[in-house]
Structure 1
């Protein structure tokens, strides 16, 4: 049965993209599956001159004139219909019948509000060093990719969970949105969150978050650590810089400039929070 004929939507994929005028990218994402079997909501951040339209019943499109990945995620959550939602980027490829381990995991973990899964790289290797069994997410959430996050829509809305719109690609701080979102999840004692060791999606081996020696990353990560740890932020800054030195990702003569970037990230976050 075509999913557009169903009155209940068990799973909806929430896709973030930018400046699209054609649905061609969706067919690439679902090349291992029958596209008509899935319900999809696309948030297309674009301009009024570059709109995306869908004539397909199971694919909805919202053209948004805002910027920022976190804003896209929040808009998708507010407009989703699915009982269970799966976050998606426009450069992933879903494994064949990827929905089965997702739905089966929620059937087994009956108290779960959020479940994250595994990503396979395009060279057929695990994206990360994943646990080999179902585990509470509080032991693993710092390494989770957004494309691995699924959730019960009603639970997220009920608990007013949102992505911090100051963080994420296209925002002031271009990293850290997943960490902050899941940090709120594991702090909330009303939410049950798990990791399930099932592959659902394929992605290139590197992501924007892997560029850990860049000014962009250090600027964002310093702001994130200030938000999380306040006056103890510099412990995390120095630990990050020491790690970069140890791994030879930066040189000693770059340390001073990296500390300045970190300080600017902290200052920018403070200014934004205090309305300066």
Structure 2
């Protein structure tokens, strides 16, 4: 099966992204489709680029979900990894993870990433397991490798109301996986480190009004009205883990309910 990375970026980060794609190809033999959104640049005429290591698809659209969907539709690969433009590839892990998906009947697998050469980002499970609508809520986009043909045949697409560049600033990857499961698909976690992401991610942000509104909207989109008790339990768990301060707990929860009922 043909394998590729789909890397979403913007014009100011394109040179760095090309270096990432070139490095990945030289160490793994796996090509990349780079989707470069051009909203930072006015009146620039560009043509898509094609070479042995990568393709560059230029887009004047805006939003991470739209970029990833364009990448899925533009590539001819069977298996694709939803990579970010600021990661470092772990070559042996990437090859092993792609082989895991290729040899399975899964629609997607999720892997692990690290913050440096010694420390993994999350407290991951020690062994593999099949995903549920609850477990996919903990997944980050750079952990996801999908069987593109199966996903497209199921009619699954990214919800463009979510993700960077949209009103709801995150959650597009979780909703994407939830929709695959809802369509009868199957996903599995495999304990393989595929990348290093040294920067701090925003997924654990509970400090802003919009971040909490977004979390409420994600729970509504994935679970419907069954998401209300799950959302309350989620915030109480964050409180117990001291990720949300007691002084801001109730306001954070209320903003999440605002987002829950804002989504139609």
Q: TM class by shorter-chain length?
A: 0.7 to 0.9
Task: Choose 1 or 2 for highest CA Rg.
Answer: 1
1:182 to 1:36, Cα distance in 2 relative to 1, 3 A: closer
Check if 1:15 corresponds to 2:15. no
Aligned-pair distance for 1:229? 4.0
The residue aligned with 2:205 is: 211
| 2:151 pairs with one of 147, 156, 175 | 156
Pairing partner for 1:44 from 36, 45, 57: 36
Asked if the contact 2:14/2:36 (under 8 Å) is kept, the reply is no
Q: Secondary structure at the match of 2:203?
A: helix
In the other structure, the counterpart of 1:105 is 100
Deviations 1:155-180 (A, max 9, x none): 01100111111111111111221221
Which residue in the other structure is 1:24 paired with? 16
Q: How far did 1:60 drift?
A: 1.2
Q: Any unmatched runs of 5+ in structure 2?
A: none
**Per-residue CA distance 1:151-202 (angstroms, 9 max, x = gap):** 111101100111111111111111221221111222332x232222211111
Matched, 1:222 2:211: no
User: 2:136 aligned with 1:144, yes or no?
Assistant: no
* Structure 1 unaligned spans of 5+: 1-8, 271-276
Count of aligned positions: 260
TM-score of the two chains, using structure 2 as the length reference: 0.84
Residue 62 (structure 1) aligned to one of 41, 57, 61: 57
* Distance of aligned partners of 1:158 and 1:211 in 2 relative to their CA distance in 1, 3 Å threshold: same
TM-score relative to the length of structure 1: 0.81
Cα RMSD, aligned residues only: 2.8
The 2-side partners of 1:103 and 1:267 are apart by 39
Deviation at 1:221, TM superposition (A): 0.7
Q: How is 1:1-276 mapped onto 2 (pairs within 5 angstroms)?
A: 10-20=2-12, 22-28=14-20, 31=23, 34=26, 37-47=29-39, 48-49=41-42, 54=49, 56-109=51-104, 111-138=105-132, 140-189=135-184, 191-204=185-198, 206-255=200-249, 257-270=251-264
Give the structure 2 partner of residue 4 of structure 1: none
In the alignment, the residues of structure 1 paired with residue 212 and residue 84 of structure 2 have an alpha-carbon distance, to the nearest angstrom, of: 23
Q: CA deviation at 1:95?
A: 0.8
